[in-house]
Structure 1
Amino acid sequence: MTSGGGAPNPVPAADAAELSVILPSFNEAENIPILIDLLKAALDGIAWEAIVVDDNSPDGTAEVARNIARIDPKVRVIRRIGRRGLSGACIEGMLASSAPYVAVMDADLQHDETMLPKMLAELKGGDTDLVVASRNVEGGTVGEGLSSIRAWGSNIANGLAQKLLNVTLKDPMSGFFMIRREKAEALAPKLSSQGFKILLDLVSSAGGALKIKELPFTFRERQHGESKLDTLVTFDYFGLLLAKYFGNVVSVRFLMFGLVGASGLFVHLAALRVFLLGGVEFNLAQTAASFVAMTTNFFLNNQLTYRDRRLRGLRALIGLFTFYAVCSVGVLANVGVANLIYADPAYWWFAGTAGAIMGAVWNYAASSALTWRKS
């Protein structure tokens, strides 16, 4: 409806959302209807909306959420095509909100939705900018939601964030928080759209400017679906830590590519040693080791560094050969430099390392532009 001047009539204040709950999702079709019902009960009396940001889930999560949205105006859906990653989904969801407060929580039912009114009250009742549901303050616990190994890894990750980035949060790895939208909007240009630790990114990017309150909560056990976290996320996390530690001088993607490349160096040296022990001539052994390392690097980068552009099926096979092609210049430099250095068999490791480093610089730029180019 518009006024006589053609401008849209303002929505009555009572109908405007005070709180937007951002729900990044991937393969959460079973959980979304349950979570929406839980939010209705927990947020009764509060003007709220849920923004489901789905990374084109093959299980039809977006369609399930859209069916709910057709009958419930409190639910909105953003379906992302060709983009992957929890952090990017959270950023898009927060920027799509016009509510003064935005909350981020997982769609897998592991976060306690009854915390939301308490978090909102903290933001509205004082000068707090960010409220974090913390497992590590007094009264909080991981409950049954994390295995002992994951809990141990989370504690190590927390410690690294606190020491390297001077983050004072007790639980910087939490994925459950609420923030004033204008604060999130101001920080958005500094945030990485890759990775899984959006809270750590927000806090470190703010440089101590956010007034933070942590509230205890218990991390619940997942009821449906499978966890999206895998061992490769460790690379992603270290990439974010390093990017923030060096003041965002280089991108998280480049640092993750470098971490994968570092792992490839060990693969390269191991393969080189095996070939040399097998009696293969050094030049041939160095070339073969280079292709072994390139193969492992391709699959690691495809799973992690370029997870938002991940190649599958035939495209992955074509991408592998493209990766070989664009890295061929690097291989030539690798073998050439290594051969110049390799004079004494006792220094095989130094020759191999020097050659591998020479090929690394070319690989990132070429593979970004050609192998995993944006479609």
Structure 2
Amino acid sequence: MFHQVVERSLTVADAPLELSVIVPTLNEVGNVELLLEKLGVALVGIEWEAIFVDDGSTDGTPELLTTIAQADRRVRLIRRIGRRGLSSAVVEGALASTTPIVAVIDADLQHDERVLPDLFRAVAREGHELAIGTRYAGAGSTGEWDDTRLKISRFATALASPIMKTRLSDPMSGFFAVRRDVLLEAAPRLSNVGYKILLDLVASSPRPLSVGEVPYTFGTRQHGASKLDEMVALEYLELLLDKTVGRFVPVKLVQFGAIGTLGVAVHLALLYFTLNMLGTAFAVAQAAAVLGAMTFNFALNNRFTYRDRQLKGFAWVGGLLSFYLVCALGAIANVGIGSLVYEQYHGWWLAGIAGAIVGSVWNYVASGWLTWTKR
């Protein structure tokens, strides 16, 4: 009976979908309608759907897409609450699709949608597992980029080379088509960090992929504000770290430790200033330096390491107080373990390192549990 119903519905409905176009959005209300018009023209002859994955837009993007989707069955909307990031949005959209091929395109109209049919055919007809829109091969171009942005992009591409199992001319591209089963195969290994989902995909795939490349010219944003800021660069470095040392050490622990190292410098600077410039007693200077370094560490970890759980307003103050408590207990653990190791082995340097490691790990684990609790 079920098969008869399906067969009957297929005779009156459109042919089976062949392509899902995943479009991550964050405040792109001025672009989505024009993008859909362009997709409709470019993808004539292909059965397609557009899956918009919205990360909490406040400019009316999800409301507009809801209205459009109610009138056009090719348009779907996934609204994410409390989760952000282009890479994870693409994966979530792909997991919600059922088509054999998935394509990814930005909502800002900088990717040339006219290239999409070529990307689709490279996978569907030519047998490639992955097809990318490239700015760095053939007639591809970065368009109106200045020399500084071009050099940064080239440098980022060079940094990515060691972690790629598949050679690409433009691993920074966010414009590509891939067989859905290939993406699903890599999904458990994906870092889902930042904006570079293509790089994450080729670095996470268990094997090299067969690739087709289609040149295109990178366009200019039409409406809305660019999402490029210092966080994009930080998340890119985080992705590289995850693909290199992430198998052995959590990336957040590396970030936490790096900020802790900077905190030591802040501690010494404050100690010198209060002791020698202000003329305070050592105990007072040391206490001020400790509080200053802990505040510095908390502020940077809140801004960078735990930006996905960033505390603001009164929560920032409460988080700082809980961080003080965590670090105080960490200091006790540092001294206790250091003393124990010194009594056993009588090596001051070994005892110091052991205490520092235990204290740092405690601070990382406990602050993640108490200060930056997942909500």
TM-score relative to the length of structure 1: 0.84
Alignment of 1:261-280 (within 5 A): 261-278=260-277, 279-280=279-280
User: CA deviation digits over 1:30-66, x for unaligned, max 9?
Assistant: 2222211221111122111111111112223211211
Amino acid in structure 1 at the alignment position of 2:219: R
User: How far is the alpha carbon of 1:127 from its aligned partner?
Assistant: 2.6
User: How far is the alpha carbon of 1:103 from its aligned partner?
Assistant: 0.9
User: How far is the alpha carbon of 1:104 from its aligned partner?
Assistant: 1.3
User: CA deviation digits over 1:188-239, x for unaligned, max 9?
Assistant: 1111233222111110111542112222222212222222221133232222
User: How far is the alpha carbon of 1:118 from its aligned partner?
Assistant: 0.7
Structure-2 change in CA distance of 1:114 and 1:284 (3 Å)? farther
Whether the 8 Å CA contact 1:236–1:256 is kept in 2: the answer is: no
Percent sequence identity over aligned pairs:
49
Per the alignment, in what secondary structure is the counterpart of residue 9 of structure 1? helix
User: How far is the alpha carbon of 1:355 from its aligned partner?
Assistant: 8.3
CA distance in 2, matches of 1:371, 1:361: 15
Amino acid in structure 1 at the alignment position of 2:17: A
Per the alignment, in what secondary structure is the counterpart of residue 202 of structure 2? helix
Structure-2 change in CA distance of 1:232 and 1:269 (3 Å)? farther
Alignment of 1:173-192 (within 5 A): 173-192=172-191
Per the alignment, in what secondary structure is the counterpart of residue 103 of structure 1? strand
Q: Which structure would you say has the larger Rg?
A: 2
Per the alignment, in what secondary structure is the counterpart of residue 77 of structure 1? strand
Alignment of 1:314-333 (within 5 A): 314-332=314-332
Worse overlay, 41-50 or 234-243: 234-243
CA distance in 2, matches of 1:18, 1:6: 20
Residue in 1 aligned with 2:72? Answer: 72
Amino acid in structure 2 at the alignment position of 1:152: K
CA distance in 1, matches of 2:356, 2:271: 11
1:289 matched to 2:289 = yes
Residue in 2 aligned with 1:235? Answer: 234
Worse overlay, 95-104 or 55-64: 55-64
Structure-2 change in CA distance of 1:234 and 1:6 (3 Å)? same
1:99 matched to 2:99 = yes
Alignment of 1:103-182 (within 5 A): 103-144=103-144, 146-163=145-162, 165=164, 168-182=167-181
User: How far is the alpha carbon of 1:148 from its aligned partner?
Assistant: 3.7
Whether the 8 Å CA contact 1:267–1:293 is kept in 2: the answer is: yes
CA distance in 1, matches of 2:31, 2:66: 14
User: How far is the alpha carbon of 1:362 from its aligned partner?
Assistant: 1.8
Residue in 1 aligned with 2:374? Answer: 374
CA distance in 2, matches of 1:367, 1:209: 39
Whether the 8 Å CA contact 2:163–2:203 is kept in 1: the answer is: no
Residue in 2 aligned with 1:196? Answer: 195
Whether the 8 Å CA contact 1:85–1:307 is kept in 2: the answer is: no
Worse overlay, 295-304 or 15-24: 295-304
User: CA deviation digits over 1:235-279, x for unaligned, max 9?
Assistant: 322221122113633444444444444444444444444444434
Unaligned runs of 5+ in 2: 339-351
Residue in 2 aligned with 1:32? Answer: 32
Structure-2 change in CA distance of 1:216 and 1:252 (3 Å)? farther
CA distance in 1, matches of 2:44, 2:356: 60
Structure-2 change in CA distance of 1:63 and 1:362 (3 Å)? same
CA distance in 2, matches of 1:358, 1:247: 20
Unaligned runs of 5+ in 1: 339-351
- The size of the alignment, in residue pairs, is 360
CA distance in 1, matches of 2:353, 2:253: 20
Residue in 1 aligned with 2:348? Answer: none
Per the alignment, in what secondary structure is the counterpart of residue 6 of structure 2? coil
